[in-house]
Amino acid sequence: MNTEILKLTAQKMVTKGKGILAADESTPTCTKRFESIGLKSTNESRNKYRDMLFTTNELEKYISGIIMFDETIHQNTVNSNIPFPKYLNEKGILTGIKVDTGAKNLAGTKNEKITEGLDNLRGRIQEYKDLGASFAKWRAVISIDSENSIPSKSCIYANAHALARYASICQENNIVPIVEPEVIMDGKHDIKKCQEVTKMVLNIVFEQLSLMNVLIEGIVLKPNMIICGKDCEKSCSDDPKKVADLTLQSLLESVPKEVPGIAFLSGGQSSDLATKHLNLMNKIASKEGLNDYWNLTFSYGRALQQDSLSIWKDEDTKLAQEKLLYRAKMNSLASKGLIE
C-alpha cells in the first residue's frame, strides 16, 4: 500500500469545485431508464450513451472522476476507438469502477439487504487497475422500517464489515475506495429518524474501517443526506435548510476530520433539490468555519444525467452534452456554496 498515492488520489477526487459522475448503472438499471423514454438497450446503445457523456467538451472543469460499470470500463470511444479510461485520463478525469455485485437478502433478517461481491475481489481489483481504474465503489443499502425494528444491528454490522473489507482490499492495491453506506429514502420515517439511523450507521462503518486498518485519509465517503422517507406524512422537502443543518450536524458527530472529502449521493432527489441542499451545506460550512474539515461535494448519477438522457433519445448529442455540462457546472458552484 502506497499511502501517498492513496492520499493524492482521494484529494484529487474531491478537489474543490469538482465532483464525481456516477455512470455505473448496471445493465438492468440502464435498460429500465432507456425503456422509460422509449429507447432500446443494447451493448451498442449503452456504449453510445456513455460516449456522449464522457466526451462532453470541458467536462473536466467540473468532474474529477467517473464511476463505471464493468461493461463500460471495457468499452471505447465511438469515433476514435480509444478505451474510455485512457481517453478520460488524457482529459484529467479519473476512472472509477463499481465492484460490488449488488444487494441480496440478508439471512436471518426481515427483508434486509447485504451487499455481496467480496469473493475474488482482490483479483478483480487488480484487473480493473490494469484497465486504468484509480478508485472503486461499493454501496451498502440500509432501510428504515420502525414497525419491524429495521434496521437491525446485524444488518448494519454486516454491511459495515463488508465495506471495511472491500476498502482494505482496494487500498492494498493502491485503489481509493468510495465508501457508500446509503440509508435509503423508501419508507414512512421522518427526518429525525433518518438522522438517528444515519449517525448510527456512520459510527459503525468507521469503527469497522478502523478495525480493518483502512487509511482514513485515503477514502472518499459517499453518504445520503438527512431526508425524511418518501412516504412520510409530513414531507421535509419544503425545508432545505433543515436538511442541510441536520446533515452537517450528523457528519460532525460521526465522520473523522481526516476524511478528505464527502461526495454525497442524490438518493432519489430531483436534480434541482440535490443541488440546492449541497449549496446550502457549503454556505453553512463556510459561515461556521468548517473549511478545515472534509470537502463537501457530489457524486450524482441520475441528478446529473437525467436531463441529458431525455434529450439524447432524440439523437441531439450536442444539446444533451450541454445539459450535462450545465448540471455539472451548477453542482460545481454548489460545492463552493456560490449559488444565490
The active-site residue, picked from 25, 112, 180, 182, is: 180
* Residue 250 CA from chain centroid, whole number: 18
Out of 137, 193, 222, 283, the active site residue is 222
* Dihedral (Cα; 219, 220, 225, 229), 10-degree rounding: -70
**Residue 237: how many CB atoms within 10 A of its CB?**
14
| 180 assigned to active site | yes
- The per-residue b/e assignment along 313-331, b for 16 or more CB within 10 angstroms, e otherwise, is eeeebeebbbbbbebbebb
Among this protein's residues, is 222 annotated catalytic?
A: yes
Q: Which residue shows C-alpha cell 476514435? A: 80
3-state secondary structure the chain: CCHHHHHHHHHHHCCCCCEEEEECCCHHHHHHHHHHCCCCCCHHHHHHHHHHHHCCCCHHHCEEEEEECHHHHCCECCCCCCEHHHHHHHHCCEEEEECCCCEEECCCCCCCEEECCCCCHHHHHHHHHHHCCCEEEEEEEECCEHHHCECCHHHHHHHHHHHHHHHHHHHHCCCEEEEEEEECCCCCCCHHHHHHHHHHHHHHHHHHHHHCCCCHHHCEECCCCCCCCCCCCCCCCCCHHHHHHHHHHHHHHHCCCCCCEEEECCCCCCHHHHHHHHHHHHHHHHHCCCCCCCEEEEEECHHHHHHHHHHHCCCCHHHHHHHHHHHHHHHHHHCCCCCC
Q: What is the distance between the alpha carbons of residues 66 and 53, in angstroms, rounded to a whole number?
A: 10
Would you please indicate which residues are annotated as catalytic (active-site) residues?
180, 222
